[in-house]
Structure 1
Amino acid sequence: MFTNDVDDYQVLLFDESFLVSTISNADVRITGFELELGAVATEGLDIVAGFGYLDDKFTDFINPLLSEDSSGNRLPFTPRFNYNLSVQYLASFGLLSRVELQGFFGSYFFDEGNQFEQGPFALVNARLGYERENYGVYLFVNNLFDTELSSRTVFRTRECAPKVRRSPNLRRSSQSKLLSIMKNTHPPAKLVLKKIWILGTLYVAQFLPIAFFLQTLPAYMRQRGMSVEVIGLTSLLGLPWMLKFLWSPFVDRYRLSNRGHYKSWILTMQGFMVVLLVICAFLNIKTQFFVLLAGMLLIVVFASTQDIAVDALAIGILTPPERGIGNAVQGGCNYLGFILGGGVLLVLLEILGWEGGLLGMAGFVLTLMMPILAYQESDPAPRLGEQRSSSTQRANPVMDYLRTFTSFCRRPGIGRWLLLLLVYFLGTSMTNTMFRPLLVDIGLSLSEIGWMYGTAYSAGLMGAIIGGLLVKPLGRKRSLILFTLLLTGVNLLHLLPAWGFTSLPLLYVVSSGFNLAYSMVAVVLNTIMMDKTRPEMAGVDYTLQGTILFMGSLTAAGISGFLTTAIGYSGVFIVGGTITLANTIVVAKAFFHEPST
Structure 2
Amino acid sequence: MIKSLGFYRASLLLSLYITQFIGIAFFMEAFVAILRKNGVGLEHLGLIYTLGLVWVVRFLWAPLIDRFRLSSKSHFKAWVGFFQTLMVLTLLAASTLDVTENVAIIVLFNGIFVVFSASQDVALDALVLKEISLQNRPHAMGLKAAGSSIGIVLGGGLGLVVYDYLGWVYTMLLLCVITLNSLVQLYFYREKQTHIHTTRVEFKAYVNFWKTRGNWLIFLFFYPATISAAFALVSPILVDLGWELAKIGFYIHIVGYSAGALTSLAASSVMKKLNFRRVLVFATLGQSMGLLLYLLPLYFTLGELQITAIVSLVFSLYSISNIAITTLMMDECKDLSPATGFAMQHGVFMFFCILFSSLSMGLAGRFGYENSIVFFSLFGVVAACMVMRLTIERDDGRSEFEGQLLS
SS at match of 1:308: helix
Q: Does the Cα contact within 8 Å between 2:53 and 2:354 map onto a contact in 1? A: no
Equivalent residue for 1:453, pick from 230, 235, 252: 252
Show the 5 A alignment for 1:348-387.
Answer: 348=162, 354-378=168-192, 379-385=194-200
Which residue type is aligned with residue 196 of structure 1? A
Separation in 1, partners of 2:33, 2:289: 33
Show the 5 A alignment for 1:100-115.
Answer: none
Alpha carbons of 1:380 and 1:215: their partners in 2 closer, same or farther (altered >3 Å)? farther
Show the 5 A alignment for 1:472-551.
Answer: 472-494=272-294, 496-497=296-297, 500-504=299-303, 505-534=305-334, 537-551=337-351
Alpha carbons of 1:438 and 1:316: their partners in 2 closer, same or farther (altered >3 Å)? same
By percentage of residues, which structure has more helix?
Answer: 2
1:309 maps onto 2:123 in alignment: yes
Q: Does the Cα contact within 8 Å between 1:487 and 1:580 map onto a contact in 2? A: yes
Q: Residue in 2 aligned with 1:408?
A: 209
1:465 maps onto 2:265 in alignment: yes
Q: Does the Cα contact within 8 Å between 2:94 and 2:109 map onto a contact in 1? A: yes
Question: How far has the Cα of 1:383 moved from its partner?
Answer: 0.7
Separation in 1, partners of 2:31, 2:6: 36
Q: Which moved more, 1:481-490 or 1:558-567?
A: 558-567
Alpha carbons of 1:356 and 1:252: their partners in 2 closer, same or farther (altered >3 Å)? same
Show the 5 A alignment for 1:94-493.
Answer: 145=1, 147=2, 189=3, 191-217=5-31, 237-282=51-96, 294-348=108-162, 354-378=168-192, 379-385=194-200, 401-410=202-211, 412=212, 414-430=213-229, 433-434=232-233, 439=238, 443-447=241-245, 448-454=247-253, 455-493=255-293
Alpha carbons of 1:584 and 1:370: their partners in 2 closer, same or farther (altered >3 Å)? same
Q: Does the Cα contact within 8 Å between 1:488 and 1:580 map onto a contact in 2? A: yes
Q: Does the Cα contact within 8 Å between 2:63 and 2:340 map onto a contact in 1? A: yes
1:36-68, Cα deviation, whole Å (9 max, x unpaired): xxxxxxxxxxxxxxxxxxxxxxxxxxxxxxxxx
Alpha carbons of 1:439 and 1:541: their partners in 2 closer, same or farther (altered >3 Å)? same
Which residue type is aligned with residue 402 of structure 1? F
Question: How far has the Cα of 1:265 moved from its partner?
Answer: 0.7
1:441-487, Cα deviation, whole Å (9 max, x unpaired): 6x443445444413321222122223323321213223223323433
Which residue type is aligned with residue 553 of structure 1? C
Question: How far has the Cα of 1:220 moved from its partner?
Answer: 6.3
Q: Residue in 2 aligned with 1:184?
A: none
1:76-129, Cα deviation, whole Å (9 max, x unpaired): xxxxxxxxxxxxxxxxxxxxxxxxxxxxxxxxxxxxxxxxxxxxxxxxxxxxxx
By relative contact order (CA 8 Å, sep 6+), the higher-ranking structure is 2
Separation in 1, partners of 2:229, 2:168: 35
Q: Which moved more, 1:514-523 or 1:501-510?
A: 501-510
Question: How far has the Cα of 1:215 moved from its partner?
Answer: 3.6
Alpha carbons of 1:226 and 1:280: their partners in 2 closer, same or farther (altered >3 Å)? farther
1:357-413, Cα deviation, whole Å (9 max, x unpaired): 54444333222123322222223521122xxxxxxxxxxxxxx55245234324x3x
Separation in 2, partners of 1:349, 1:191: 36
Q: Which moved more, 1:195-204 or 1:358-367?
A: 358-367
CA RMSD, Structure 1 to Structure 2 (Å): 3.6
SS at match of 1:238: helix
Equivalent residue for 1:587, pick from 364, 384, 387: 387
Which residue type is aligned with residue 453 of structure 1? I
Q: Does the Cα contact within 8 Å between 2:149 and 2:260 map onto a contact in 1? A: yes
SS at match of 1:369: helix
Alpha carbons of 1:578 and 1:199: their partners in 2 closer, same or farther (altered >3 Å)? same
Q: Does the Cα contact within 8 Å between 2:52 and 2:354 map onto a contact in 1? A: no
SS at match of 2:57: helix
Separation in 2, partners of 1:438, 1:474: 36
Separation in 2, partners of 1:434, 1:354: 23
Question: How far has the Cα of 1:266 moved from its partner?
Answer: 0.6
Separation in 2, partners of 1:503, 1:309: 44
Separation in 1, partners of 2:387, 2:134: 20
Which residue type is aligned with residue 456 of structure 1? G
Which residue type is aligned with residue 224 of structure 2? F
Separation in 1, partners of 2:30, 2:339: 29
Question: How far has the Cα of 1:330 moved from its partner?
Answer: 0.9
Question: How far has the Cα of 1:238 moved from its partner?
Answer: 3.1
Alpha carbons of 1:409 and 1:508: their partners in 2 closer, same or farther (altered >3 Å)? same
Larger Rg: 1
Q: Does the Cα contact within 8 Å between 1:381 and 1:536 map onto a contact in 2? A: no
Alpha carbons of 1:226 and 1:243: their partners in 2 closer, same or farther (altered >3 Å)? farther
Separation in 2, partners of 1:235, 1:582: 24
SS at match of 2:71: coil
Count of aligned pairs between the two proteins: 391
Q: Does the Cα contact within 8 Å between 1:266 and 1:309 map onto a contact in 2? A: yes
Which residue type is aligned with residue 348 of structure 2? I
Q: Does the Cα contact within 8 Å between 1:211 and 1:337 map onto a contact in 2? A: yes
1:128-150, Cα deviation, whole Å (9 max, x unpaired): xxxxxxxxxxxxxxxxx3x5xxx
Question: How far has the Cα of 1:355 moved from its partner?
Answer: 4.8
Alpha carbons of 1:343 and 1:589: their partners in 2 closer, same or farther (altered >3 Å)? closer
By percentage of residues, which structure has more strand?
Answer: 1
Q: Residue in 2 aligned with 1:153?
A: none
1:518-552, Cα deviation, whole Å (9 max, x unpaired): 22111211111111112751222212212222222
Q: Percent identity?
A: 26
Separation in 2, partners of 1:321, 1:368: 26
Q: Residue in 2 aligned with 1:391?
A: none
SS at match of 2:135: helix
Question: How far has the Cα of 1:262 moved from its partner?
Answer: 0.9
Which residue type is aligned with residue 82 of structure 2? T
SS at match of 2:392: coil
Q: Where does the alignment leave 5 or more consecutive residues of structure 1 unmatched?
A: 1-144, 148-188, 386-399
Q: Which moved more, 1:414-423 or 1:459-468?
A: 459-468
TM-score when normalising by structure 1: 0.57
Alpha carbons of 1:432 and 1:215: their partners in 2 closer, same or farther (altered >3 Å)? closer
